[in-house]
């Protein structure tokens, strides 16, 4: 069975900056990946106890080796918000990197038959606690570490049903066509990584309300973000980013070629 992008999907990706595939992973697979994600969270919590802690704009981060753990924004919060990279924290997450349902479409989007992992992360939006993500592109984060930032497509795997209430991903349709856009012109430490609203049309945002098991492929230049989780339902998601083969990963510097 082939998982390559269809011509229609490729056209939508080129036009909109994203494409969705529903029901790619079965409920039993998602149940297993949820357990793997929670095992990774427990391990990241332990690693953070002896990692290097620091704050950016009052937000707590911990570096434990090449793994960065971000915590929720409330003062002294112990609730993890993001783990990057996460694949090495559980064998099921490591195996997911090579899954053909992800790798084959990624070959089309990277533009190479041979691809490698660039980075991956677990986004956690706990019920009534998970904070939002401001409008941003991924490419400005990576432009100083990669010579091929245009060839770093993302794929989000929904581990829970994503709705407007629990803070689903939002993407600004067509925003990827202008490359890296200017950041906010404030004096904050992270402001440069959040996209200035003067350079995209927020009215073009699309709420990606997808069921658990769906995949959302999106451009590194696509402006995206999300609102806080205001529901009683979790909204967990894995985001994997690929690149041409034989290039090292973002944080570890290790090369992780994938697929057959």
Domain boundaries, the chain: 7-25+100-258
Separation between Cα atoms, residue 208 and residue 187, nearest integer Å = 32
pTM, entire model:
0.97
Q: What is the pLDDT of residues 140-167, one digit of tens each?
A: 999 999 999 999 999 999 999 999 999 9
Distances (CA, A) of 158 to 130, 141, 195, 211: 15, 23, 24, 7
pLDDT for the residue numbered 73: 86
**Residue pLDDT, tens place only, 6-23:** 999 999 999 999 999 999
Beta strands in 2-110 (DSSP E): 18-21, 52-56, 59-64, 67-71, 80-84
In whole angstroms, what is the distance from residue 37 CA to residue 118 CA? Answer: 19
Residue 71, classed as helix, strand or coil, is strand
Q: What is the pLDDT of residue 260?
A: 56
**Residue 58 CB burial class (10 angstroms; 0-12, 13-18, ≥19):** exposed
CA–CA dist 95, 110 (Å, integer): 20
C-alpha to C-alpha distances, 60 to 57, 68, 157, 165, 175, nearest whole angstrom: 9, 11, 26, 25, 30
pLDDT less than 50: residues of the chain: none
CATH number for the region 7-25+100-258 comes to 2.60.120.620
């Amino acid at each position: 069975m082939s998982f390559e992008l269809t011509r229609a999907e490729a056209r939508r990706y080129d036009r909109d900056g994203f494409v969705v595939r529903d029901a790619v992973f079965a409920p039993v697979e998602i149940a297993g990946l949820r357990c793997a994600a929670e095992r990774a969270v427990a391990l990241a919590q332990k690693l953070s106890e002896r990692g290097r802690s620091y704050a950016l704009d009052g937000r707590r981060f911990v570096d434990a080796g090449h793994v960065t753990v971000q915590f929720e924004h409330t003062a002294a919060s112990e609730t993890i918000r993001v783990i990057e990279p996460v694949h090495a924290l559980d064998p099921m997450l490591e195996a997911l990197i090579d899954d053909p349902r992800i790798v084959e479409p990624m070959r089309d989007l990277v533009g190479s038959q041979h691809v490698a992992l660039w980075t991956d992360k677990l986004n956690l939006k706990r019920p009534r606690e998970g904070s939002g993500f401001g409008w941003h592109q991924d490419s400005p984060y990576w432009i100083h570490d990669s010579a091929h930032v245009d060839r770093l497509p993302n794929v989000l795997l929904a581990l829970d049903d994503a709705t407007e209430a629990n803070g689903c991903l939002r993407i600004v349709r067509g925003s990827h066509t202008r490359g890296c856009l200017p950041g906010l012109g404030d004096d904050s430490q992270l402001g440069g990584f959040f996209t200035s609203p003067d350079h995209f049309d927020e009215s073009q945002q699309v709420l990606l309300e997808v069921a658990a098991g769906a995949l959302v492929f999106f451009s590194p230049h696509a402006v995206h973000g999300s609102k806080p989780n205001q529901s009683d339902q979790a909204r967990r998601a894995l985001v994997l980013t690929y690149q041409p083969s034989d290039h090292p990963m973002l944080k570890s510097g290790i090369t992780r070629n994938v697929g057959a």
